[in-house]
Amino acid sequence: MKIAILGAGTWGTALANSFIDKHEVHVFSTFAEEVKKLNETHTHKNLPGVSLSKDIVFTSSMEEALKDKELVIFATPSIYIRNTAVMAKPYLRKWQIIVSVAKGIEEGTLYSTCEIIEDVIGKEFLFVALSGPTHAEEVAIHLPSAIVAASKDIEVAKKVQQELSLPYLRIYVNDDIKGVELSGALKNVVALAAGISDGIGYGDNAKAAIITRGLAEISRLGVALGANAKTFSGLTGIGDIVVTATSRHSRNNKAGNLLGQGYSLEETLKEVQMVVEGINCLKAARELEAKVNVEMPIVDAVYSIVYEHIDPKEAVNRLLARDLKQE
């Protein structure tokens, strides 16, 4: 199979370094200098110690990247998905399968990444969300991982499963694309909360409570929006939250840790030096919360720290002071 990956960030590049074992892979980047360096050095600045296959073709030509490709993977940060779809639209063909591996919710429209792409290129395409507890740093060096291919058309999800599964990358299928994408986006906010807790100096008890109650919030919201409750107990739910909220690889967890230590938002983003999807998702998460009138106190607490400049300890105190209730 011929595959195009749109986005030469850590995740897009890590996937390319895995899928090249079975397929022909072109990776698109808008930055010609980045393409030149990747093709010459076969290394990525955010994947230290990883040797990239020389068979991967990096290109700054969208037309070249998409020509004759059966599978098109959108792998840019969620805030760039719409612009990437606009750039890709003239070269896309209806027989191509569109896969999103980005995790986010667009402010205003409240669209998931697959919905953003559909809004730009049309409903005639087949869409799949590929999501789960998979850090790029581990996938790039072929450490064992499991992920989910979700689509309204389960046969399309199964085709992606068959084509992209590898000895070290096990793919499951799910027809609840709404739940999978929602969970993939909002787990980053929970990871921010877990990082904030660490940054303040709280322990494992607090982190376990944040992960568990954060999952409950996401599940409530998802069900209210029509998702399947079972999705949130799977790889794209609890699995993705655990890995993002606890791992040293997690930029969301790192950003939260800095916020918990008292860093400002600007200082935090400068320190992390990569896109923090949890930050990008916060405003849309609050919009969704208000839209369906679902209580999400952890999301509210993180929002108050990031955008209302509430002291992190005060935000935690407010959470603990809420009315007692049944789990």
Q: In this structure, are residues 232 and 224 in contact, taking their beta carbons and an 8 Å threshold?
A: no
At 248 the pLDDT is 84
Write the pLDDT tens digit of every residue in 271-289.
Answer: 998 889 999 999 999 999 9
- For the chain, the first-to-last Cα distance in angstroms comes to 48
**How many angstroms separate the Cα of 301 from the Cα of each of 74, 210, 246, 308, 316?**
31, 11, 19, 10, 7
Q: How confident is the model at residue 197 (pLDDT cuts 50, 70, 90)?
A: very high
If you ran DSSP here, which 8-state letter would residue 152 be given?
S
Q: How confident is the model at residue 38 (pLDDT cuts 50, 70, 90)?
A: very high
**2-175: CATH superfamily:** NAD(P)-binding Rossmann-like Domain (3.40.50.720)
Q: Which two tokens stand for residue 12?
A: 């897009």
Q: Is the pLDDT of residue 309 over 90?
A: yes
C-alpha radius of gyration, the chain, whole number = 19
CA atoms within a 13 Å half-sphere pointing along the CA-CB vector of 222: 28
Q: Is the pLDDT of residue 44 over 90?
A: yes
Long-range contacts of 290-298 (CB under 8 A, 24+ apart): 291/110, 292/221, 292/224, 292/225, 294/217, 294/220, 294/221, 294/224, 295/217, 295/220, 296/217, 296/220, 296/221, 297/213, 297/217, 297/322, 298/189, 298/190, 298/193, 298/210, 298/213, 298/214, 298/217
Distance between CA 271 and CA 266 in Å, rounded? 9
List the beta bridge partners of residue 28: 6, 59
CATH 1.10.10.10 applies to domain 178-320 = no
Q: How confident is the model at residue 219 (pLDDT cuts 50, 70, 90)?
A: very high
**Spatial CA neighbour of 106 closest among 88, 98, 118, 97:** 118
Distance between CA 133 and CA 130 in Å, rounded? 11
CA atoms within a 13 Å half-sphere pointing along the CA-CB vector of 313: 5
Residue 99 main-chain phi, psi, to 5 deg: -120, 130
Distance between CA 101 and CA 145 in Å, rounded? 15
Distance between CA 38 and CA 28 in Å, rounded? 11
Question: Which residues are the active-site residues?
Answer: 187
Q: Where are the domains of the chain?
A: 2-175, 178-320
